[in-house]
Amino acid sequence: MKYVDEYRDARLANDIARQIATAVNPARSYHFMEFCGGHTHAISRYGLADLLPSNVWMIHGPGCPVCVLPIGRIDAAIALAMRREITLCTYGDLMRVPCSNGSSLLKAKAAGADIRMIYSTLDSLSIAETEPDREVVFFAIGFETTTPPTALALRFAIAKGLRNFSIFSNHVRTPAAIQNIVESPDVGKPGAVKIDGFIGPAHVSTVIGTEPYDFIAEKFKKPVVVAGFEPLDIMHAVLLLVRQVNDGLHQVGNQYIRAVTTFGNEKAQSEIANFFELRESFEWRGLGEVPYGALRLRPQYGEYDAEKRFGMVTPAAQDNPACECAAILRGMKKPADCKLFGKVCTPDTPMGSCMVSSEGACAAHWIYGRFRGQVKADESSRIVR
């Protein structure tokens, strides 16, 4: 898209806000979860919650790949990277995530591990090509958005005959996580999280389309509206959700029609299906074990699977007991409810992944100052969730 200002027009945003205010039923409350961390940051950056009526609540979801990765998986990567023959390649957000015993990938690198920050999967392939004596492992992480590039990297590695390249797969699946959330005992019970609908992720949906959310709407009676990341996108999605709730509907809507289709990018889906298969279960931080919540390499590509190739073991690991990241990822708490937030836990000294990641809810609240002057959440007070 060439022009962005059109989607950040304050006049149009206020117009949509008036439409939402007119549409809401003052006798009820509305609770919508934005699944994606990109939406969380946009809501905080542009102060969108301040434009909504007092009975419309935005709830942060777990939509940050770095945030939902359990500590044990990073501990396993650190243990692998400490081996003399290994070069571990990873994206920058992972480097500072606190792990067991106060460690992190960044600290392991400082201690001598060959850990390199890369900007694309092709960077790791280039390292494998130019340093054939090193065992290059790509720490693959992300939702469906970043899975096709990993599949493509594997395709290139096979074509180039790179025997010193492998993948530590931590790719996770969005629809499975949404199902886990709506089936959780934290949702819908008295005193627990109430969710009337979801703002569906943008970039993920460009790959998978809107069809995979149909079962959420049909089985759990929760409307889903896929939205872009701009302020007007999100405000429009909220309006569409309010209208569905008022009419008793539970359908999948597509606000992001300029980028998302019903069936998504079928070429990208084909690449994923060629190289990956479902894991029966995978742990998400905050959500626990999610059935079919992640992907692993197919058996025929076992020589490129770092877990098999190097006998990797994921150790049991516990988050910092004082950190509320897990509850924040489930929508049970907001960042300012954590007693560490803004005190010992800041972007300079993060205690949990929600403060580290560029898409983390705690980072969003800190960067854009949405926590200032906040009070405890209740149905009679207005907060920025």
Note the pLDDT of residue 87: 98
Comparison of pLDDT for 286 and 109, the residue scoring more: 109
Neighbours of 227 (CB within 10 A): 30
pLDDT score for 372: 58
pLDDT tens-place string over residues 320-376: 889 999 889 988 888 999 999 999 999 889 999 999 987 899 999 998 876 654 433
Using alpha carbons, list the distances in angstroms from residue 316 to 78, 283, 320, 326. Answer: 14, 11, 13, 16
Look at the alpha carbons of 229, 233, 239, 244 in this order and tell me if their dihedral is positive or negative. Answer: negative
Q: Please name the amino acid found at residue 70.
A: P
First to last CA, the chain: 30
User: How many residues are there in the chain?
Assistant: 385
Tell me the per-residue pLDDT of 144-195, one tens digit each, with 9 for 90 and over: 999 999 999 999 999 999 999 999 999 999 999 999 999 987 766 666 789 9
Longest Cα–Cα distance of the chain, Å, equals: 68
Cα 175 off chain centre by: 12
Task: Return the residue matching tokens 């969108």.
Answer: 48
Whether residue 58 contacts residue 52, with contact meaning beta carbons closer than 8 Å, is answered with yes
- The pLDDT assigned to 371 comes to 62
Q: Report whether 199 contacts 39 (CB < 8 A).
A: yes
pLDDT tier at 378, thresholds 50, 70, 90: very low
Domains of the chain: 5-60+200-254 (3.40.50.11750), 67-173+264-309 (3.40.50.11740)
Residue 369, classed as helix, strand or coil, is coil
The pTM of the full predicted model, rounded to 2 decimals, is 0.91
Query: How many of the other CB atoms lie within 10 Å of CB of 190?
Result: 5
B/e letters for 312-324, b = 16+ CB within 10 Å, e = fewer, are bebeeeebeeebb
Q: What is the rounded CA–CA span in Å between residue 353 and residue 306?
A: 24
Q: Where are the alpha helices (DSSP H) in the chain?
A: 10-23, 37-45, 65-68, 71-81, 105-110, 121-130, 147-160, 174-183, 203-208, 214-220, 231-246, 266-275, 306-309, 325-329, 353-356, 361-367
List C-alpha distances in Å: 72 to 208, 278, 283. 28, 20, 10
Contact 126, 143 (CB under 8 A): no
Beta carbons of 256 and 226 less than 8 angstroms apart: yes
C-alpha of 6 from chain center: 27
